[in-house]
Chains A and B, each alone.
Chain A
């Protein structure tokens, strides 16, 4: 059992490695043959050196740290707000009727277009960035909770009534657990949105963060730096997404979507 599992993981890694190697090979060949200037498309080796340099010189850390900080704070507030709001909308009809038009409006409005407005309202510092991230995270979380609570079978609620369970028991034993799978699909969308939100917010204002590195690389025609910065943001996105995925898998072992070992 053990060996076959390790072998399977190894095969996945191999598949990825081969696929990425071929991509880099084609990229490298193209640059060498066509002779495009470096500020349009640098060689993979140059980008790789730049990428390593970002870490060895340590210049990336304050920027990466800032972006991570913004993501954590914004995502945290968005999740708590989304859960609270989602629960109220799912449980109280009046709240639903009152809030739904605004929620749909905010959701359909392209948040990125709201950034200048956020800057006017909240300044160019941290608050406007957090507001943008929260606005991008809150909706997927909220709809996850609403879907989750709506997906509770009517008879499961009837069972609680037959057992004369109180409201707190219904919440603790039924509603939280039943909404977890939906909540986690919301969290997975939310964390990706949070990283995007942080980068975009940093484009707009400030002198720190991964988004700033991208605009700096762009403005100075330092394409290797720009591409290395993009790779860092992609890695940040993947790592944060996979962390949520991992926690979800641990908590949702019971769910039908998880295979039994």
Chain B
């Protein structure tokens, strides 16, 4: 059970600026993330949660400190961006399978699995649609399938549902849990919604701003498999109230 997926030791990120002086975006971040864990990172805007995620995804370099991946530096990762960043000239299936093209994976197995994922996300009828014909929720579904298509053990998500309406968001939360339970991936999920964090996560990392550091890590002890009804339980309410209290 206590298989670690990644560890960070004393991560710091400082932005140097001649005019405004240095800005400390992240200060002394120490994390232990287990395999198959669903972790949310939450905090006020400007607390560096997206920066932290980008550093974990090797899209940005820390100023100091280190990250240890269980599978080494070349660890495969999926990343879901705030905006779906679908390629506008590719249809849904081509977009979702784009990583397979880049990784030159032509096996029927992978493409069949891709079709299963599309089916699971309710995209089967839209395989040939272009991004401009899709709604925001649909686009984000495609981008999640894309991140899953090459079966990376780790999935990083940067406020993927931030731009969606509340109803679509709740719906996609449920779908994401379904996918997570089936694929058993490690998910690190950045959000600014407390309810979303509680509903999805095993643990919620609360960050504070200026400098961005970890304030508290809250274990969410709610039953798995979670259903929509879990939102109405007292325990769920207690967690959200508690988190709201520490975020302030």
Contacts and interface: CB of A to CB of B under 8 A. Distances in A.
Given A173-B102, A254-B89, 11 more contacts: A153-B85, A155-B85, A158-B59, A159-B85, A161-B59, A163-B98, A163-B150, A164-B74, A174-B87, A254-B90, A255-B89
Interface in B183-197: none
A174 B58 CA distance: 20
Nearest to B79: A162
B9 interface: no
A158 B132 contact: no
Interface string A154-189: 011011111111000100011001000000000000
Contacts of A156: 85, 87
A163 B130 contact: no
Given A158-B79, A159-B81, A169 B102 contact: yes
28 contacts: A153-B83, A153-B85, A155-B82, A155-B83, A156-B87, A158-B79, A159-B79, A159-B81, A160-B102, A161-B58, A161-B59, A162-B78, A162-B79, A163-B98, A163-B150, A164-B74, A164-B102, A164-B103, A165-B102, A169-B102, A173-B87, A173-B98, A173-B101, A174-B87, A177-B89, A254-B88, A254-B89, A256-B88
Interface of B: 54, 57-59, 74, 77-79, 81-83, 85, 87-90, 98-99, 101-103, 130, 132-133, 150
Nearest to A181: B88
A156 B150 CA distance: 17
Closest 9 A-B residue pairs measured CB to CB?
A254-B89, A155-B81, A162-B79, A155-B85, A163-B102, A165-B102, A156-B85, A163-B99, A158-B59
Nearest to A170: B102
Nearest to A158: B59
Contact of A260 (B58, B98, B133): B133
Contacts of A177: 87, 89
Q: Max chain B CB contacts within 10 Å: which of A163, A174, A177, A255?
A: A163
Contacts of A164: 74, 102-103
A159 B150 CA distance: 13
Nearest to B129: A260
Contacts of A162: 57, 59, 77-79
Interface in A87-117: none
Contacts of A159: 79, 81, 85
Contacts of B130: 254, 260
